Chains A and B, each alone.
Chain A
Amino acid sequence: MDFTNIIGFSLQQAFGPTAILLCLAAIGLNIHFGYTGLLNFGQAGFMLVGGYSIGASVTVFSSSLWLGAIVGLLLCVVLALLLGVPTLRLRADYLAIVTIAAAEIIRQTIGAASFSSTFGGQDGITDFIGGFRANNPYETRKGIPGLVTWSAYDFYVMTVGWTLVALCCVVVWLLMRSPWGRVLKSIREDEDAVRSLGKNVYGYKMQALVIGGVIGGLAGIMTSLRSAAVGPSFFATDITFFAYTVLLIGGAARVLGPVVGAMIFWFLINFIGVVFSQATRGADPLIPAWIMDSQQASLMRFIFVGLGLMLLMIFRPQGIFGDRRELAIDAR
């Protein structure tokens, strides 16, 4: 087994475009769940809105990608308002069920064959990133030769992506040290106490839902830039749960938690994936074929994600950076 190669590949992924989109999705969830205690299980829905907006703006409306990005973020605001109005007054698990249902509604509708002439059905939309690609300043592969390199386009996506991540982190940091952020955290801790101080809890929750949703929309935009395509399968329910895992690894209610979490998560996922795929490859594989074939090997990483998420939540819910005392996660 070639470990330099495996580490190199995993590192490439850990800093690559997919880690960025998971990171952005988790930053949005951090505002929802980490700071405000809102259990949004529909982050995939916000991502889908962002991702399809830039695709459709070019292919359907023959407009610019950049305009599509702005429209997409505005649509995320609308989606957050639509979701928040019926559910933010209810208990946390209701929000969870409604958001997960809403994300599926959007995904199944946009992927429906009835709209395939507009949104391409299950195939999704392609051929829309010309306007983005045209500004690529890089021409050759970048990185550390011999260990990890990225294609010029990936590196361009990464430059944009990590800049966005940095911006979002600064925004979250500034917001959460403001009086507004302190109200959010106290809503998470004791909603009734905040209400008794005369704060409009519903309004604050709504604002948090909108801001986190917009960052989720950014994650969706990064998704479609990464793949140069969007399709309904990119925004399945599981992506939301991956983002939760990312958040919990890094530590909820910490500004840099999602960043570190995304890198570690995506590094480990790829590491496990490559290790098992190499262990089952070849004429005389390390793991005999009757135990595991290469198809089964590709499932191992997701089995580990599930197991990891459970163990993390049970034994270290505060993640790497979090503070257990600050974050007594509980339903209300």
Chain B
Amino acid sequence: MAFLAILAPAAAAHASPVESAASRTGTCQYEKRDDDTVHVKGCLRDDREDPAAPVEGVTVTVTDSAGEVVGEDITKENGIFDIPIPGDAVSALGKEFTVTIDESTLPEGSGLRDPDKVKVTVRFTTDSDQSVIFPIGDPLAGSTAKLTQALQLFVGGLVFSAVLAMAALGLSMIFGTTGLTNFAHGELITFGAIIAFAFDQLPGKISIGGLNITIIVAVLVAFAVSGVFGWLNDTVLWRPLRRRGTGVIAMMIVSIGLSLFLRNTYQYFTGAQSANYSQYASVTPWEIGPLLVTPKEIVVFIVAMAVLVLTTSLLRYTRIGKATRAVADNPALSSATGINVERVISIVWIGGAALAGLAGALLGLTQGFDYQIGFKLLLLVFAAVVLGGLGTIWGAIVGAFIIGLFTELTTLFVPAEFKFVGALLVLIVVLLIRPQGLLGKAQRVG
């Protein structure tokens, strides 16, 4: 596991994106030099054109860490700027310089792809030149661009939320009927993704009328096999524990052991690298107005919503659904009214694990999977369930949509690496204000 790894010394990984861009188009040729100075250089090009067009006449300034201007250049007709740093290479070693682009000198109608990135900091760690890239394209400034971006994220968030809701519903149902906070729920999610992948990798194809539906069958198989896996989980492990009268906390720790065991077993069979399913690995998106939506996102969303509606209606209108809710409310009392509690719990495990497995398979379909896909999602699932109210059915779904949309939409304002952090902070704040969750009953929390 990761903590055992001995940390390699922080290797300065200053990859130069400009050079890769140059090799793509082949026009970004820097002048060869043979002296003892280092330069900050780069090559401005407009990616909207194909091949990318050089951008001429843009002022680029280099300042040192004290804020003094040490060099300035205007891009040539090939888009290149090349600014020597005063002194020799050794004296520049370890120093930081800020490269600023003057936005007002950009040609009419173009702007920085990332409007916040007018300044780039470079640091010399070797005696070679430093390359800087400023992606130029449509100016994204202004409220319409932000709105489009928000809508795009909203669509992505909806798809993610629907998948998250299935996983959360499974966890919440199991918690509601058995009181178990299952830390191995993430592994149920991964299980579905792995089964779908394994089925997808089998030789041969399944097709109806020339249409390759292997992946559809694979997802269905994952759904079914996950249900069986859930039943096995309950029959082999959890039911005997309930019979012994094992406490809820002890069961929680057992579930952590199970999570560690399953996660490493998955890695044993699948390896650590991430994998994509054979179909839908890359699909050209449809343009709907200003939005880009891939067909598989639509399919995933529709499937997930259909399953959610189906599950909630089953819980609401059928006998077994009513029995489930009765057990969740009060196991002893429902047992006294003639409900077979163990049978209900067994069905809940099958259903919950099948939902989780389906979520994993669909998630694997949209973003590829590795052995940790469920584990990484686990805290978000917890956040969703606690936010909505542990053990409540509608709460899990509402919570999942809030968390799912929140994680995507926060990337409008903060870097994407903080989106999980934001969701977890929401969880803690909600607990502070409303511990029973949005839809939970107050007496549930002691």
Contacts and interface: CB of A to CB of B under 8 A. Distances in A.
Interface of A: 37, 39, 85-87, 89-94, 96-98, 100-102, 104-105, 108-109, 112-114, 120, 123-124, 126, 227, 229-231, 233-236, 238-239, 241, 244-245, 248, 295-296, 299, 302-303, 305-314, 317, 328-332
B223 to A, nearest CB: 26
A313 B392 CA distance: 28
Contacts of B425: 105
B248 A310 contact: no
B446 A306 contact: no
A295 to B, nearest CB: 7
A238 B264 CA distance: 12
Nearest to B121: A117
A274 to B, nearest CB: 13
Contact of B248 (A302, A308, A331): A331
Given A94-B386, A241-B260, A101 B10 contact: no
B253 A233 contact: no
A188 B241 CA distance: 22
Interface of B: 1-3, 5-11, 179, 181, 237, 241, 246-250, 252-254, 256-265, 267-268, 271, 379, 382-383, 386, 390, 415, 417-418, 420-421, 424-425, 427-428, 431-432, 435, 445-446
A89 B432 CA distance: 10
25 contacts: A86-B435, A90-B446, A91-B446, A96-B181, A97-B181, A97-B386, A104-B424, A105-B421, A105-B425, A113-B415, A114-B418, A123-B10, A123-B11, A126-B7, A126-B9, A230-B7, A235-B3, A236-B1, A241-B256, A245-B257, A306-B264, A307-B257, A309-B254, A314-B241, A314-B250
B420 to A, nearest CB: 6
Contacts of A239: 3
A90 B249 contact: no
A241 B386 CA distance: 22
B10 A120 contact: yes
B253 to A, nearest CB: 5
A303 B187 CA distance: 14
A127 to B, nearest CB: 9
Q: Interface on chain A toward B: helix, strand, loop, or mixed SS?
A: helix
Contacts of B6: 227
B257 A236 contact: no
Contacts of B258: 306, 310
Contacts of B390: 93
A248 B253 contact: yes
A96 B183 CA distance: 10
B254 A313 contact: yes
A229 B7 contact: yes
B423 to A, nearest CB: 9
A101 B427 contact: yes
Nearest to A228: B7
A329 B424 contact: no
B260 A236 contact: no
B257 A306 contact: yes
B428 A86 contact: yes
Contacts of A98: 427-428, 431
A236 B390 CA distance: 25
Nearest to B382: A97
